């Protein structure tokens, strides 16, 4: 349910008495600065007030000012940015540690120069589209004469994040930036959120956070960046540390050919899947592949999710050795053997089973995916399709997408299709097929990936 809350509050304009006298000093004129105004507050929610729901704020007031919002039950203030003259917007995703109820007060403030105006609001009993009443804006007087402070050179000395053991909905990523004081800072998480404001908590120290939403796709290969602006100058820094405190190495699964398998003919496709569930993902630059002692890394297709090497191999036993590391430096190594034979010289104990429509580790588009294959004529083929989220931020999704049985035609051809309920980019589909005719059977696994974007 989408909640919409809107407030229009006329801010009180505090004027000095008409009889006030300006004191003229030699070479200097002192003028009374007008208090900033808060004209309206608009708050919407993409769900309710539970963890993972996102609140959006829209405040209208005096232009070229600093605006923020505080909610009772939330430890920090929520900075807003001016997107057009006098219009300030911002977002906040409710964290598990927050204690927000319909009785929580909302406090908006606008600061212009050394004057601040504050207006307080209340959530209504029914938050669906109702207006809330303000207790009225309050203008805070200037604390006194403020001497100008020289602006130091613009710089970002450090941009860090507090790592988490696990990324899940409602988890809060807390970022910190150290740089030039008196600026405006924000950060971007590519593919997730942009221009998240950071608050200057101490001179030159900025803090900001992002609360993970359901279905956020945090990809470690796309770096998080922070920007610091002072006047018309800006500087950007990229986060170099991982979001997850990853101490476990990745695993190499779904080897092809399998350990000890006999491959008929010289053509062979050697492949495997990198599984770093809950980790930061495999660094493709760290992968090294050798086949029978020969380095074939440069001739292989390598991604953070899988590797594939296609070769024309002579008959005999071949050894594959694969090493890799994730982005946190955890290393993995996997070795196995398979045989290449010219022909089958003994009575077969299995029937053929081959996928003809997709190569292993192929990418598929959203919507229905049709898989075609070939086996013994009239054989029954049992198919199961599991969807596994293989990148950080997808929270270990593992669900069965399809389970079905089809029969091959007189030429051994068969086909089936599956449609994922939630086609998230980077999701791995493990398609297991078992073909059986009489006492003969064959088993095969096809790995497919949901296309990015």
Q: State the CATH number of the domain containing residue 120.
A: 2.60.40.1930
Higher pLDDT, 351 or 235: 235
Share of the chain above pLDDT 90, in %: 30
Residues 384 and 442 both lie in one domain: yes
pLDDT > 80? residue 346? no
Task: Give the model's pLDDT for residue 222.
Answer: 73
pLDDT 10s digits, 144-187: 544 444 545 678 999 999 877 777 788 889 999 999 888 899 99
d(CA 321, CA 307): 12
pLDDT tens-digit series, residues 84-95: 899 999 988 888
CATH code at 257? Answer: 2.60.40.1220
Q: Is the pLDDT of residue 96 over 80?
A: yes
So what's the pLDDT on residue 434?
Answer: 93
pTM, rounded to two decimals: 0.47
pLDDT digits (tens, 9 = 90+) for 424-451: 777 889 999 999 988 888 888 998 988 8
324 falls within a domain: yes
Whether residues 430 and 333 share a domain: the answer is no
**Residue 95, helix vs strand vs coil:** coil
Query: Which CATH number characterizes residue 213's domain?
Result: 2.60.40
219 and 334 together in one domain: no
Is there a domain that residue 184 lies in? yes
> Per residue in 41-56, is it b (16+ CB within 10 Å) or e — as a string?
bebbbebebebbbebe
Q: What is the mean pLDDT of residues 355-377?
A: 90
Strands (E) across 212-261 are located at 225-230, 233-238, 251-256
> Which residue in the block uniquely carries the two structure tokens 């908590």?
201
Quick check: is 26 in a domain?
Answer: no
Q: Are residues 334 and 358 in the same domain?
A: no
Q: Note the pLDDT of residue 6.
A: 46
Contacts of 151-155 spanning 24+ positions with Cβ under 8 A: 151/180, 151/182, 151/230, 151/231, 152/180, 152/181, 153/180, 154/179, 154/180, 154/183, 154/228, 154/230, 154/233, 154/234, 154/235, 155/179, 155/180, 155/235
Instruction: State residue 180's pLDDT score.
Output: 87
Over the stretch 8-38, which tens digit does the pLDDT of each residue have?
433 333 333 333 333 333 333 344 567 888 8
Structural domain range at position 112: 3-15+31-140
pLDDT at position 221, please? 60
Same-domain check for residues 406 and 435: yes
Percent of the chain past pLDDT 70, that is, above it, reads 79
> Would strands 193-202 and 184-189 be described as parallel, antiparallel, or unpaired?
antiparallel
What is the tens place of the pLDDT at every residue in 405-424? 999 998 999 999 998 877 77
* Mean pLDDT calculated for residue range 191-198: 91
Cis bond before residue 385 (omega within 30° of 0): no
Residue 284's φ and ψ, nearest 5 degrees, are -60, -30
Whether 178 and 162 map to the same domain: the answer is yes
Pair 276, 306: CB distance under 8 Å: no
Q: End of a domain among 293, 311, 346?
A: 346
Residues 234 and 287 reside in one and the same domain: no
Instruction: Please list the residues that pair with 59 across neighbouring strands.
Output: 41, 88
What is the C-alpha separation between 340 and 318, in angstroms, rounded? Answer: 8
- Integer Cα distance of 38 and 121 in angstroms: 12
As a whole number, mean pLDDT of residues 370-392 equals 85
CATH assignment at residue 440? 2.60.40.10
**Same domain? 175 vs 205:** yes
Based on the domain organization, do 117 and 161 belong to the same domain? no
What pLDDT is recorded for position 205?
92
For residue 22, is it within any domain? no
Please give the tally of structural domains in the chain: 4
Whether residue 24 lies inside any domain: the answer is no
Measuring CA to CA, which residue among 346, 347, 402, 405 is closest to residue 375? 405
pLDDT of residue 152: 52
């Amino acid at each position: 349910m989408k909640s919409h809350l809107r407030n229009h509050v006329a801010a009180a304009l505090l004027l000095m008495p008409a009889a006030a006298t300006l004191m003229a000093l030699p070479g200097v004129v002192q003028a009374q600065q007008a208090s900033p105004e808060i004209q309206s507050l608009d708050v919407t929610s993409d769900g309710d007030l539970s963890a993972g729901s996102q609140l959006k704020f829209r405040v209208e007031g005096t232009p070229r000012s600093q605006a923020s919002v505080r909610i009772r039950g939330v430890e920090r203030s929520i900075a807003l940015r001016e997107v057009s003259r006098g219009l300030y917007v911002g977002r906040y995703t409710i964290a598990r540690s927050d204690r927000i109820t319909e009785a929580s007060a909302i406090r908006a403030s606008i600061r212009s120069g050394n004057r601040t105006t504050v207006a307080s609001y209340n959530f209504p009993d029914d938050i669906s589209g109702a207006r809330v009443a303000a207790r009225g804006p309050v203008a805070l007087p200037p604390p006194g004469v403020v001497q100008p402070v020289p602006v130091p050179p613009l710089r970002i000395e450090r941009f860090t994040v507090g790592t988490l053991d696990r990324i899940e909905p409602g988890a809060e990523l807390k970022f910190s930036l150290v740089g030039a004081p008196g600026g405006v800072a924000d950060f971007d998480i590519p593919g997730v959120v942009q221009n998240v404001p950071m608050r200057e908590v101490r001179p030159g120290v900025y803090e900001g956070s992002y609360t993970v939403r359901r279905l956020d796709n945090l990809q470690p290969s796309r770096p998080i960046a922070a920007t610091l602006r002072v006047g018309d100058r800006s500087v950007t820094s990229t986060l170099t540390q991982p979001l997850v405190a990853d101490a476990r190495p990745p695993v190499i699964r779904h080897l092809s050919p399998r350990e000890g398998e006999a491959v008929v003919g010289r053509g062979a496709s050697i492949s495997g899947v990198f599984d770093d569930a809950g980790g930061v993902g495999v660094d493709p630059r760290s992968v090294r592949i050798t086949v029978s002692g020969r380095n074939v890394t440069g001739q292989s297709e390598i991604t953070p999710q899988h590797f594939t090497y296609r070769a024309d191999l002579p008959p005999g036993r071949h050894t594959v050795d694969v090493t890799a590391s994730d982005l946190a430096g955890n290393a993995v190594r996997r070795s196995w053997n398979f045989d290449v034979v010219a022909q089958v010289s003994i009575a077969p104990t299995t029937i053929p089973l081959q996928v003809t429509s997709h190569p292993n580790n192929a990418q598929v588009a959203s919507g229905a995916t049709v898989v075609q294959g070939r086996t013994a004529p009239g054989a029954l083929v049992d198919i199961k399709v599991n969807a596994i989220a293989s990148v950080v931020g997808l929270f270990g999704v593992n669900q069965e997408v399809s389970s079905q049985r089809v029969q091959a035609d007189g030429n051994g051809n068969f086909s089936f299709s599956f449609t994922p309920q939630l086609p998230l980019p980077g999701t791995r589909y493990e398609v297991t097929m078992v073909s059986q005719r009489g006492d003969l059977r064959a088993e095969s696994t096809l790995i497919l990936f949901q296309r990015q974007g």
